[in-house]
Structure 1
Amino acid sequence: MSFTTTVYFVFLLIGLVFYYLIPKNYRWTVLLVMSYIYYLSYRLKAVVFILFTTITVYLLGIMLERIQNGADAYLAQNKQVLSREEKKSYKNKIKHKKRIYLVIALLLNFGMLAAIKYSSFAISGANYILRAVGTHKQFSLFTIVAPIGISFFTFQAMSYIIDIYQGKYACEKNFFKFALFVSFFPQIMQGPIGRYNRLAPTLFEGNSYSLKNIQFGIQRIGWGIFKKLIMADRAGVFVNAAFADSNQFHGMIRIIGLLMYSVQLYMDFSGGIDIVIGSAQMFGVRMDENFRQPYFSKSIGEFWRRWHITLGTWMKDYIFYPFSLSKWSNKAAKWGKKHLGDHLGKMLPICFANLLIFFIVGVWHGSEARYIVYGLYNGVIIALSNLLSPVYKKGFKVFHINSESRIWKAFQILRTFILINIGWVFDVSVSGMHSAITTLKMFIVNLDFAQVNAQTFAAIGLETRDFVIIGIGCIVVLIVSIIKEMGVNVREALALKPLPVRWAVYYAFFAAIIILSYVTDNSGFMYAAF
């Protein structure tokens, strides 16, 4: 039940009718039923995995809270009896016990995720090592079909159990409400990765009917469909052709293919998120934004704070801060300050934490070596930027560069866009690392301008009008992005316009979607596989 099909919109309409007809206290049950119908529409057996995560995390969350509540009650009753050392010893014992339950939750769920997504990669690696040492014994390969959105619902559930462990809020006692939090249907396929304390209230409270929510939700969905069907799928035809065979097309076609991939990936992913957030808003459910004009970023670090925001904040809260503030990091910082100077010493733990995060981001994207290289490529650039920041400041003074000037900011945006596109090479090279390296070499030694002609573009499968449509679409998205970058809420601003102006815009987008949509045999969303 893809977001761009008629079936999905009929499903959404029926769900809205039921949601607003029944009493408020029970409206969340409609969302739960819809979520499981939606999930089951893809693959019946896949429900086992989401149920496993839901049940294990729900039970372990309750156990963590019971342990803490019991400990608090015991300390309160024996406040006058226990010495300070006894209290400290007891608290450490409770913390250790809670940590065991947390580790069980993490191992069970991340273990399931790893087994499903990375078992073939691990077995292939083991077989390669066995062949290298001269052993003929080989392990048999097997593949587990990954259920849609397993990374998203696993990360969301793990954020909940970590927060319960840290005592940030009380655990959810109602199993079915917790099941809704894990499986809420719009976000199940590609996020955003929600946090329980922000998402749960708006899921469970039974939202009142609001015409504004319905209107704004439809507008957001329409904007997502515009980006997906008019631009992403059309650009994807060029990308698939340009990178399918590493020997067929050379440097300039690959460069154009990379630019098309930037269009495809952003329009596909952000368009899908628009549909997700718009669908949720129609039910009165508020979800976290996942994009904030990422191609306006002035550095790789800023790009990742604007792109897939909920994944970035997940990594920051649950990996970066714990790692960079750990005892090991403190020791590394002290050693670095002593032997390398204050700046390098201070940056050392941060750099290691960033490299760890982007290694995980690479693994999260896939089990191939090119994804790990892609992650580390971003991590190394960010680490070097942190380490060399004093050098940059000195350079500004020496060359009299105004770091606040528009020209310098424009240069930073262009530089970041180029670096991001170089990183996309590893992401888009479906044939693996060899194909990625071949593409990078082409940029230097074999640009081959001769391939850039009408015959090549015709062979790829796009007509001149398709390139014009993509170009105009990019201009429209750019204009909207500039307006949003200026702090303007586009939907709110449009709602204040005279009625004829509003409906002219609505009809223009509706007509564009009907007339210009580019439907392919494989028009699913790219991040659904995660």
Structure 2
Amino acid sequence: MSLVSAEFLIFILISAGGYYLIPKRGQWIWLLAFSYLYYLSSGVGVVFFLLSGTLTTYVAGCSLEMLERSVGDTEIEKGTKKRKKKRVLILTLVFNFGILGILKYAGFFVENINLIFHTGFSFQTVLLPLGISFYTFQSMGYLLDVYWGKCKAEKNVFRFALFVSFFPQLLQGPIGRYDRLAEQLYRTHSFSMERIGFGAQRILWGYFKKLVLADRAGVVVNQVFQNYTDYMGITVMVAVLCYSIQLYADFSGGIDVVLGTAELFGITLDENFKRPFFAVSITDFWHRWHITLGTWMKDYVFYPLSLSKGMSRFGKWSKKRFGKKTGRVLPICAANIVVFIVVGIWHGAAWKYIVYGLYNGVLIALASLFAPVFRKGFEWTHIDPKSFGWKIVRIIRTFFLVNISWYFDMALSLSAAVTMIKNTVLGFRISALYDGTLLQLGLDRLDYIQLLIGVAVLFAVGILQEKGIRIRERISSYPLLIRWGIWMILLFSLPFFGYITAGKGGFIYAQF
């Protein structure tokens, strides 16, 4: 059930309406029922994967807590308890990530085995169950938190099932944390017209991004990236810029719909975006883009890896070999590269995604490694790194580097990405901007004008938010006529300016 469909709007109308009409003590049960109903809409068979992940994680969490409370204070008993807990953790992680790995990466693995060893193995590609990456990461994060003692295990299996399956975030996140989300899901909520209004406004803003911007920009993206050998120079650059618009408006727009839907039930999910194209570095970009994935990787991959014995030995070796300063930075650089390779693999089973992750990881590692050189450069050139002018330079530089990464993210393959980069440099002619070339990519002049106006609106909203202005709250303080006028303009912009026919294709990140 696409978030951009009449069926979804009817679904949330019924689910939110009933949520406030039934006895409050049954609200979380109502949410659980509708969450599984939503999941069943994608097929009955896929519920097996959701249930298996939920039940194994629930049992493992309870087992970890039971082992932690087991009696025995001697060193031998503590050691035995620690080994048993680690065994439970590893088995559950392997089972759940194993299912995800087989479904998502087995075909890629078999394909490369055949390529290297000239074998003829075959693997039947299967359609990924709805949201499996998101709910697997969310439930495994919960399990690790229980293992580390950061939160208590949930004793009620049905409540835990709601935490894993809460329907707004199933499709594309955000990846929730048990300590921030569970209490909101289980407590009772009273009807609030203000909260309903804010939720509806957030959903409307998400639809504006998706229908007016993402789906329109996607026409150019699909035309050029699907026929990449036919286009050169500025045409490819325009397609990559359109992909920046499409991906951000599609993903953040979808998250707006998700957060707005959750708000209808009185539940505040974690923000997943913070104006990423105002970032001043690649590191800053990833602090603003897909925030919940970044913090998940930081807490559950980067920190354990950085504090591991192997990384400690590498740090000692680096200090002896390169000196104390460089030796301290190198392990962090190595951990960052590993983390972003994992991020790349998370995005999909293809070499282009691995290179995409490696590209980001290497840039972040180099920025850390050469930070002392940059500081000396500022001293020699007398540039104030905190000045507004230099901030603009850094934003433009970061935007340029991010757009290079999109070649690998969107191209049909790694070789296609390399070809497109080469074609961008070759055959570069500025006349393509005004000689009608761009009008052969599926959009007419009016479409481009609407796209630019939409981007300008998005940019203006971003500037206001960067200044700390809470736009919905500010608008709610205006007189009724002005307030409703703003939202009516936004609402009626959808059928008039939205690329409605393309909206049926769903959201890009749903495939991950």
Q: Where in structure 2 are the equivalents of 1:86-235 lying within 5 Å?
A: 87-131=74-118, 137-235=119-217
Of the three residues 485, 489, 497, the one matched with 1:504 is 485
| Counterpart residue number, 1:46 | 46
Contact 2:229–2:420 at 8 Å: present in 1 too?
no
Of the three residues 407, 412, 418, the one matched with 1:437 is 418
Q: Mind listing any 5+ residue stretches in structure 1 that lack a counterpart?
A: 76-86, 132-136
Contact 2:235–2:438 at 8 Å: present in 1 too?
no
Deviations 1:239-281 (A, max 9, x none): 0001111221112111000000000000000000000000000
Which deviates further from its counterpart, 392-401 or 334-343? 334-343
2:1 is equivalent to residue 14 of structure 1: no
Q: Where in structure 2 are the equivalents of 1:96-495 lying within 5 Å?
A: 96-131=83-118, 137-430=119-412, 432-449=413-430, 451-453=432-434, 455-495=436-476
Query: How far apart are residue 488 of structure 1 and its match?
Result: 1.4
Report SS of the residue matched to 1:520. Answer: helix
CA distance in 2, matches of 1:117, 1:449: 42
Query: How far apart are residue 4 of structure 1 and its match?
Result: 1.3
CA distance in 1, matches of 2:76, 2:424: 62
Matched-pair identity in %:
46
Query: How far apart are residue 426 of structure 1 and its match?
Result: 0.3
Contact 2:146–2:153 at 8 Å: present in 1 too?
yes
Query: How far apart are residue 225 of structure 1 and its match?
Result: 0.3
CA distance in 2, matches of 1:433, 1:201: 44
CA distance in 2, matches of 1:443, 1:6: 40
Report SS of the residue matched to 1:350. Answer: helix
| TM-score scaled by length of structure 2 | 0.98
Query: How far apart are residue 526 of structure 1 and its match?
Result: 0.3
Contact 1:250–1:451 at 8 Å: present in 2 too?
no
Contact 1:294–1:306 at 8 Å: present in 2 too?
yes
Give, as a single letter, the amino acid of the residue that structure 2 aligns with 1:500.
Answer: L
CA distance in 2, matches of 1:217, 1:119: 40
Query: How far apart are residue 523 of structure 1 and its match?
Result: 2.7
Deviations 1:393-442 (A, max 9, x none): 00000111110111100000000000000000001102x01110011112
Give, as a single letter, the amino acid of the residue that structure 2 aligns with 1:366.
Answer: G
Contact 1:130–1:138 at 8 Å: present in 2 too?
no
Query: How far apart are residue 140 of structure 1 and its match?
Result: 1.6
CA distance in 2, matches of 1:139, 1:448: 46
| Counterpart residue number, 1:62 | 62
CA distance in 2, matches of 1:424, 1:418: 10
Query: How far apart are residue 450 of structure 1 and its match?
Result: 5.0
Deviations 1:212-256 (A, max 9, x none): 110000000000000001100000001000111122111211100
Contact 1:231–1:263 at 8 Å: present in 2 too?
yes
Give, as a single letter, the amino acid of the residue that structure 2 aligns with 1:11.
Answer: F
Contact 2:232–2:426 at 8 Å: present in 1 too?
no
Which deviates further from its counterpart, 500-509 or 262-271? 500-509
Query: How far apart are residue 325 of structure 1 and its match?
Result: 1.3
Query: How far apart are residue 90 of structure 1 and its match?
Result: 2.2
| Counterpart residue number, 1:27 | 27
Deviations 1:67-99 (A, max 9, x none): 11114xx33xxxxxxxxxxx2332222111100
Query: How far apart are residue 498 of structure 1 and its match?
Result: 1.6
Which deviates further from its counterpart, 334-343 or 359-368? 334-343
Deviations 1:155-175 (A, max 9, x none): 000001111111112111111
CA distance in 2, matches of 1:170, 1:485: 36
2:37 is equivalent to residue 37 of structure 1: yes
| TM-score scaled by length of structure 1 | 0.95
CA distance in 2, matches of 1:444, 1:241: 19
Q: Mind listing any 5+ residue stretches in structure 2 that lack a counterpart?
A: none
Report SS of the residue matched to 1:288. Answer: coil
Query: How far apart are residue 193 of structure 1 and its match?
Result: 0.0
Query: How far apart are residue 514 of structure 1 and its match?
Result: 2.3
Query: How far apart are residue 294 of structure 1 and its match?
Result: 0.5
CA RMSD of aligned residues (A): 1.2
CA distance in 1, matches of 2:181, 2:499: 34
